[in-house]
Each structure stands twice: as C-alpha cells, then as structure tokens.
Structure 1
Amino acid sequence: MLSLARTSRAAATAKAKAKAQAVACRGVGTQAPWKQRDKQKQANSDTGYMPQTRRILAKEAAATATPLGASQQQQQQTSAARYWPKLEIPRNAKRFTYEAEAYRGDPVKVAWTDKFLFVEDPATENGRRALKPATLRDSCSCPRCRDASSGQKTYSSVEIPVDIGLRNVKPTKKGLEIKFLQDIPRFVDGGEEHVMVLPWESVDLSLKRKGMEDVSLPRKRSVLRRTGAVYWDREIIAQQVRRIDYAEFMKDDSEAFWDVIVDICRFGLVYLKNVPRDEESVVRITTRIANIRETFYGRTFDVRAKPNAENVAYTSGYLGLHQDLLYLDPPPMIQVLHCMDNSCAGGESLFSDGERVGRLLWPFVTRHRMAPLAEHHVPYQYGKNGYHYFSSRYVLDGNEAGFANVYWSPPFQGRYLSPVKDIRRWIEPARIFADLINHQDAIHEHKMEPGECVLFDNLRVLHGRNSFDAAGGGARWLRGAYIAAEDFLSRAAHIPKGFAEKYRGERTWTPGLAQSGLRESIWHEDVVRRVKEIDPRVDE
C-alpha cells in the first residue's frame, strides 16, 4: 500500500514537472511576441493613439516597385482563381474561334451551352470566363431594351426569368450575337425575336484584356489615362502653365476650350486672359464647361474684405494653403476665380500641388509613424448664419488602386466634439506634409490682374493668399464659382480622341506610373530625409 502511494506521488510529481516544462516551452515560443505586443499596446495607451485596422490595401505595394517572389505570385494566382474560377467547358458545348479584326485582332475562343457562355483568351493561362445568361440579358442595349431617345432601360431587371438560358451564339463584326431561351415574356409574345449583341469591348473587359479605366467613363482615373498628369513645383508650373484667351475659349468647338479642360486634368491649374470685367463673366466661363455647383454661398460668390466676415477668405489677412468646403460631402472639384480688381498692395494668390506631396508620402503611410495621415480623421465644420455642415477626412485617402485624394484645410478645421483623442502621433507626419506643401520651392505665387481668371482643381491644388492692405488705397475683388466633380469629369470624358494624347505622349498614365515617376524625381530624396527624422528605420 505504501509502495502504491509512493508510486502515485511520483507519477503526480512527474506529471506536474512535465506540465511546467510544457508551459515553459510554450513560453519560449510565444511569450516574447505577446510581451512585445503588450509593450506596444502600453506605449500606444500612453499617448492615447491606437492604430486602426489598415485601410491601405496590399495592391498598393506596387507603388514601391518591389518584384514579387515566386510564392507571392503563386498566392496571387490562387486568389485570382478563387474569384474567377476556370470552369471546365462541357464536352457537349458548341465551340468556335473568332478573330475580332474590327476591334483588336486578337483571337477569342468561344464555347456555349444553355447555362454558360465561355470566352477564353488563348494567350492567357487563366483567361477563361464563364458568363451567365441572366447577366448577359441584363446587359442588352438593343433598341427594344434601351429607349432610342433617352437611352434608358425599357424593362426592369426583376422581369428576367431566373431560368433564362442561351439558345444560340454566333460571332459578328460588332460582337457576339446572342439569342435566349426563356426570355422576358413580353419580349417574346410580340412575335419578333429578341437578339442582343455583346460588344467585343465587353469580351475584352471580361477577359481582363482591358480594365474599366480603359473605358471612356466620367471617372478621374479614366480621364487621366488619356490626358496624363504633370506633378509640379514652382519652377515647373512657371514654365508650363498656360494663359488662354477668353474669346477663343468661349468659341464653339474651339481647341482653346479643350486646352483648358486638358490643362485642368494635367496640372490642376490654368489661366484665362482678356476676360471682360463684368460680374457675369465668371458665370459664362463656368457654364461653358458645366453646370455651376451652387453652395450656401450662392450660385456665385465674391472674395473681398468686409466687416464681420463669415469666412476668413473675406478678410484682408494672410490665408494659408487649403482646399475649399471640405465640410461638404463631396466638396466641389473645380474652382473658378475671376479678378475684378487687385489694386491694393499684397494679395498675391498662392498655389501648391497637394497631390504631388500626397503621392510622395503615400508609400510611407504603411509605417506606424506615418500611418496617422491615412488613419486619423480630421474634422471640418461650418456653423454660422443658420447653416451647419460637418465632415471628417484623412489627410491622405486611398482606394483599391492606392492613393486617391488629399484633404488639407487648416483654417476650416472643426473642433473635436469629444476631445478624448490624442493627436500627438498625427501632428508629426502632418507637420511633414505641411512643410512640403509650404516650401518656397513648392508654391506658385501670382498677383492676379483684372481680366485674368484662374481655374484650378480644388481636390488637388491647394490655394491661399498673401495679406493685403485694404486701408492703404486700392481694393481686391475676385468673383468665384464652383463645378462639381461629376459634372467636370462628364465634360472631360468627351475630350476629342487624340487631342489629349498629343500632350500626354505615348505612355498611358497609370497610378503605378505616377508613383514610380515620383520615386525617381528630385523630390523623393527630400521626402525620405524628412520621414527618417521621425522614423529612422524607414526604407528608401
């Protein structure tokens, strides 16, 4: 009995030792990382800054031009296969190969059953897509499905039978001609057979031969692919900014008009000269491009010093670089300012390419010290004379393609309604941004004269003004108006074919091309130096 008790105690002791060793071993493997994470949490809590879930997507790594390893490439291919599975084509499918000479000249393999339309690019390993009959039917743009006058749909998507199928598919010069089984009843009852044509352009988009940015859409990225973008400092813009004659700009179908549109897209800044000195000139200029974006300031507004000003712009003091109306959602894109009088001392207009600085800093926001530029919401607010507007924005905002927008307007920041957030971690990277845009070599300074009008992209180019002496004689008076982004881009999407490309050159603009160009620019070294001052371990 005593021997059994000793044996039990020995077994219990051995089990306890084994458990302790297991805990110790587990601690060797995992305790240090957890302690490190706890230390980081403690450090963050000391300042009150807790990093948010990263909004910066992996796709943005392309901006650093780092080659993918074999394992990464395989992972991407696996991901692509997950979203676009390479479905096997049934043996009973009808097949043909067509060379779409009228569109691209690249051959397309086509197969179809009643349930799927398969299109395949022979030159691409994973270039097969299975298109569904219901989606194809809802994409029809024939005269029976789209009103000839308005272009609007003549049916509702919910009318499409869920069991709709394919009855026949054949190639034509314009695209794939498709007939359906179980079509929308009222399209069949009339006796006239319904036929749709899937354009070759849609086939190319399905096969990823083209991206949506290649389509002429009223989207900034689509427009910039045609016009290109020139990022500038004081020296570059002084050499390249244009002053276009007002009378030529106002003529129908004039090249001068499209020159203005192209320059707004490329530089974010252009001037008109010889503008008549009357209060309606700003209306004529703005509506020549698109509808006016009316705000609580009215259809147009006057920038001049006045007592009890409801806006700092209506004073004679210095006005730092900013963007207008960031408390509106969305803010207007284009600002038009016509100089009526500028006879007082001072009052020079200031402009700086905010997008240039934003793109230069963008690759660094994945790092902890620079991350607040893309994670910290800055409040913007206006509340006066019965109006109240509020919005919050990141200094640098991104999307699936990488950098998207810059938002900076210190004079119009709102207060933190609940001041519990610690902004110290934001101040350092924000100061870097401010120093870069305000550097004397970054600012285009120009004292506007009566008869001049400046048009600039409010979502790209920051603007400001030197102080002026309103009491010492003379005056400063600008008439202004805004254009919404969708209205301007709608106009820019109609730039005549070949017109923008002659300025852009042979290379199509892409976000990746923009980032790589800035990385190789003379500005990159200065940005790296400034970032290293707060993050010495940053990679160049």
Structure 2
Amino acid sequence: MPASTTLSDSELIGIDVNGHMTPFHAIFLRDSCSCAACIDPSTRQKLFQTADIPLELRPRIEQSTDETVRLSWENDVAGFSSDHETVISKAFLADVLALQTKVLREKTEDPQTQLYWDAAQMEKENSSISYHDYQSTAGGVFEIVDRLWRYGLAFLKDVPDEVDSIEKIATRIGPLRNSFYGTTWDVRSIPNSKNIAYTDKFLGLHMDLLYMVNPPRIQILHSLRARAPGGASMFSDSFRAAELLQRSNIAGFRSLATFPVTYHYDNDGQHYRFTRPTVELVGITDVNSLTDSDLAAARIERINWSPPFQGPFSAGFGVHDSAVALKSYLAAAKTFNESLNSEEHMYEYRLKEGEAVVFDNRRVLHARRAFDAQGGERWLRGGYVDEDVWKSQIRVAGKRISDNQS
C-alpha cells in the first residue's frame, strides 16, 4: 500500500492574486517555471521532468509585484544552480484559479461570444470574406476563424477557379485531414455512387465522418461549377436546437446527452463504426451524475447527428429494461429533428462559382437540395481540418489580440 501523503505549511506559499491571498503548492509553482533553463527558448519544450522535483522542495518569495511573483528554491531540482529563480505571471495564476472554478476559456473561446442563430439571423449576419484578404492578411484568417467560433459558418468569395484552391483555403488554418476519401475530394454526381453525396438526390441534414473516432471539426467546400438547376446548400445550427431543448425539456436533453447512437460506413471495402451520444458537453463525461439544474447550466461542446450514416443500435436496446431509454431517446430525437429542419432554423444558400463555405462539422449541419445533373455541371471540391488545428488557430489569434491590447 502506498504511504499516505500529507502537506506541511512550509510547502504552501500565499500569493496575492487579484486582491485575494491564495495558497499555492511549491511543486506546482516549480513545475510552472518558464525560464530558459526550464523551457527551451527555441523549441518551447520542457527541459526537466515533473518527476525530477524533490518532494522536500521549499519556496521563498523574493519579490512580488502586481504583475509577477519571483521565487527562489531550497532543495531545487538536481542540476539547477543555487541562484535559479522562477518568475510567474499573476495573470497565469488567475487563469489557474479560474480553471478550478470552471470559469476560464480562452479569450476567443468565451461562450458569451458564441452566437446561436436561426435562418433570419444568419441572413442578416452573413457576409462573404475576400479570398485575397484571407490569403494575404492575418486579419483575414482571424475573421474566418472568429466566425467559425461565433457562428460555426463562414463564406469566402472570389476564390480562384483552380482545383488546388481548396488546399490553399484549408492550409491557412492548418494541415488537411486525410481519410479514405483522400486529403481533398470532389463532390459530383457519378453513376453507381457509394455515397449519397455523389448523386443528384436530396441529401438531408448531416455531419461528416461521425463513424470515425475523431471526426474532422472543420469542413470546406469550394464551388467550381454551379450550372445544374437546383442543388442549393442548407445549413442549420444544431447548438441552437439543442439549447432550446435544454431550456424546455431537460429530460429530453438528458436523453440526447446519454443515449448511445452508432454511426457506420460499411461499403466499398471500408468498414468504420463508432458510437457516441447526440450531445457532448464541455468538461462533463458522466452526465448521469448531474442534477437537472446542473445539466441545465452545462455548455454544449459538440453535436453528433448524421441520419444517413446511422447504424443499428447497440445490442440490448430492444429488450425491456433498455427499451424505456430507447423510447425516451426517440421522443427527444423527434423534437430535436423537427427543430433542426424547421423553416425557422434552416438557412438556404446556393453557392456560386468561385465561392467557398467553411463550417464547423460538429456544430453546423449541412444538407443539399436535389439537382438536375442533366441540366448542367455541379462540382464542389472539399477538404477537412481537425479540431486541434482549428483550436490552435483560435488560441494564437486570441494571444495576438491580447498582445495588441497590452
């Protein structure tokens, strides 16, 4: 059995953060050191291990200002000189405290800046961004990244009529995501298609690749040809529909956040399969442990909804004990689906040649009206970007804003 761990007063040090004296542990403060001896200035990688820190480490405040605290160490990490000091930003410590109370999000990830929209609001708010500005200025990239965070949907205009334009759009955010469709792919009507997207039929609201462990977060579609009658794109904000259910029917919302739905692709020599709830919440893995009031206050992180690629439910959901959960899920799914597909929520836009749409694949559902493939060519080029890449851009943009304001 491991020995029990206790804390002594000498291991804790009080630091004034925003007018409040707060105790921080020596191990945490030492591990947070970002001096050149601890963090390589070029690679920004850590040069010591947390496991190297002595349990008997003791801190001493050498200087404290409104902005920083400077510490020296007794019994420091082996190999560090006796005059090694750590300078820590009090803004960093304030962020740590905020994380502990689940308040902090990166500045550009502030939930107050996310705007859940309906069709009328998107009609009013939507404005296309110049491809030239997007490619040549930091402000253009930030505008797209910011709109993706706020609305989950952004448009580009004046995109060159070139097959590699999709790569240039994507890589301004980050590397393209590869899949069995390739790094980029064409959306055209083809005979005997293995995917309904590659037909001229109506394609209902859905999200892409939910049958994979890590579905792409950002999807990009560039319109190269728009000469076939019909084929308008439709978009719906799933966060808004889910929030409406969260406010009006907490039992239904709980069902969408807990009931496992399986998505699969089993065709053309490929078999992908993954099971996930319809609603994923920020920082919450055990929804059943939440009270109704806590669940009503929870924030939505991702939505999973892709009826064309839904597989059979997991074994057992047809038997009596779990049939109640299945029936509850169906009732909630009906309400959610009606909201998503309502005229109020469905924003319709027919992409012109030389336009591109960029959207959050885990928030904004997309659909397409049927079109007449005999009446002209309809050709889109598509690509994906992963969530980590997009979130990195959000944080970089947020830091740039913070630096410019300081």
**TM-score, normalised on structure 2?**
0.85
The 1-side partners of 2:153 and 2:397 are apart by 17
What's the CA shift string for 1:152-209, capped at 9, x where partnerless?
Answer: 1111111111111124442146411111111112113xxx511001211133235549
SS at 1:493 equivalent: helix
Q: Distance in 1 between matches of 2:105 and 2:109?
A: 12
State the distance in 2 between where 1:445 and 1:476 align.
17
Tell me, yes or no, if structure 1 residue 477 matches structure 2 residue 368. Answer: no
- Give the aligned partner of residue 162 of structure 1: 55
Unaligned runs of 5+ in 2: 1-6, 285-297
Q: CA deviation at 1:420?
A: 3.9
Partner of 2:92: 202
Instruction: Name the residue aligned to 2:167.
Output: 283
Contact conserved, 2:205 with 2:306, CA < 8 A, in 1? yes
- 8 Å Cα contact 2:211-2:264 kept in structure 1: yes
Contact 1:365–1:372 (Cα < 8 Å) also in 2: no
* % same residue: 32
Equivalent position amino acid for 1:324 in 2: D
Letter in 2 for 1:408: W
- Corresponding position: 1:490 with 2:383: no
Choose which of 237, 241, 244 in structure 2 pairs with 1:353.
237
Contact 2:108/2:146 (8 A) holds in 1: no
Which residue of 104, 129, 139 corresponds with 1:244?
Answer: 129
Query: Hey, what does 1:397 align to over in structure 2?
Result: 280
Q: Distance in 2 between matches of 1:419 and 1:475?
A: 47
Contact 2:17 2:90 in 1 (8 A): no
Question: What are the within-5 Å matches in structure 2 for residues 37-436 of structure 1?
Answer: 114-119=10-15, 128-172=21-65, 174-188=67-81, 193-208=83-98, 214=104, 216=106, 222-225=107-110, 228-253=113-138, 255-364=139-248, 366-367=250-251, 371-399=254-282, 400=284, 401-418=298-315, 420-421=317-318, 422=323, 423-436=326-339
Residue type of the partner of 2:273? F
Question: Which structure has the larger Rg?
Answer: 1
Q: Which has the higher contact order (CA 8 A, sep 6+)?
A: 2
Aligned to 1:460: 363
Tell me the CA shift for residue 497 of structure 1: 6.7
Q: Distance in 2 between matches of 1:488 and 1:480?
A: 17
Q: CA deviation at 1:284?
A: 0.7
Which whole-Å CA distance do the structure 2 matches of 1:202 and 1:499 have between them? 17
Show CA shifts across 1:76-123 (max 9, x none): xxxxxxxxxxx9xx9xxxxxxxxxxxxxxxxxxxxxx63220235696
Q: Is the 8 A contact 1:263 1:270 kept in 2?
A: yes
- Residues 223 and 380 in structure 2, CA contact (< 8 A), matched pair in contact too: yes
Q: Distance in 1 between matches of 2:401 and 2:10?
A: 45
TM-superposed deviation, 1:405:
2.2
- Counterparts of 1:133 and 1:371, CA distance in 2: 41
Note the C-alpha offset of 1:329: 2.1
How many angstroms does 1:213 deviate by? Answer: 5.7
Query: What are the superposed Cα offsets for residues 329-380 of structure 1, whole Å, 9 maximum, x if unpaired?
Result: 221111100011121121111111111111111235543x553222211100
1:106-154 CA distance string (max 9 Å, x none): xxxxxxx63220235696xxx5532221221111111111111111111
CA displacement at 1:478 relative to structure 2: 0.5
Q: Over residues 258-317 of structure 1, what are the superposed CA-to-partner deviations in whole Å (9 max), with x where a residue is unaligned? A: 222222221111111111111101011111121111112110011111122221111111
Aligned partners of 1:135, 1:412: CA distance in 2, in Å? 46
2: CA distance, partners of 1:213 / 1:279: 44
Q: Give unpaired runs (5+ residues) of structure 1.
A: 1-86, 91-112, 217-221, 501-540
- CA–CA separation in structure 1 for the residues paired with 2:341 and 2:328: 21
* CA positional deviation for 1:412: 0.7
What one-letter code is carried by the residue in structure 2 that aligns with 1:446? Y
Q: How many residues are treated as equivalent by the alignment?
A: 376
Kept after mapping to 2: 8 A contact 1:346/1:466 = yes
Question: Which letter maps to 1:361?
Answer: L
For the aligned residues, what is the CA RMSD? 2.6
What amino acid sits opposite 1:431 in the alignment?
K
CA contact (8 A) 1:303 1:313 kept: yes
Q: Which secondary structure state, in structure 1, belongs to the residue aligned with residue 209 of structure 2?
A: coil
Is the CA contact 1:353–1:437 (under 8 Å) kept in the aligned structure 2?
A: yes
Alpha-carbon distance in 2 for matches of 1:208, 1:481: 36
Aligned to 1:444: 347
Question: Matches of 1:373 and 1:227 in 2, distance apart?
Answer: 23
Q: Cα–Cα, structure 1 residues 210 and 430, in superposed 2: closer, same or farther, change >3 Å? A: closer
Q: Assess if the C-alpha contact under 8 Å between 1:213 and 1:225 holds in 2.
A: no
Higher strand share: 2
TM-score by length of 1: 0.65
Distance 1:443 1:420, change over 3 A: closer
Indicate if the aligned counterparts of 1:373 and 1:394 stay in contact, CA closer than 8 A. yes
Distance (Å, rounded) in 2 between the aligned partners of 1:310 and 1:425? 33
Post-superposition Cα deviations, 1:17-71, rounded to whole Å, max 9, x if no partner, equal xxxxxxxxxxxxxxxxxxxxxxxxxxxxxxxxxxxxxxxxxxxxxxxxxxxxxxx
- SS of match in other structure, 1:339: strand
Query: 1:402-421 CA deviation, whole Å, 9 max, x = no partner?
Result: 33222111001012352643
Contact 2:108 2:398 in 1 (8 A): no
Q: 1:496 to 1:316 in 2, by over 3 A?
A: same
Q: Which amino acid aligns with 1:387?
A: Q
Report if the CA contact (8 A) 2:202-2:369 is conserved. yes
Distance in structure 1 (CA, Å) of the matches to 2:46 and 2:198: 48
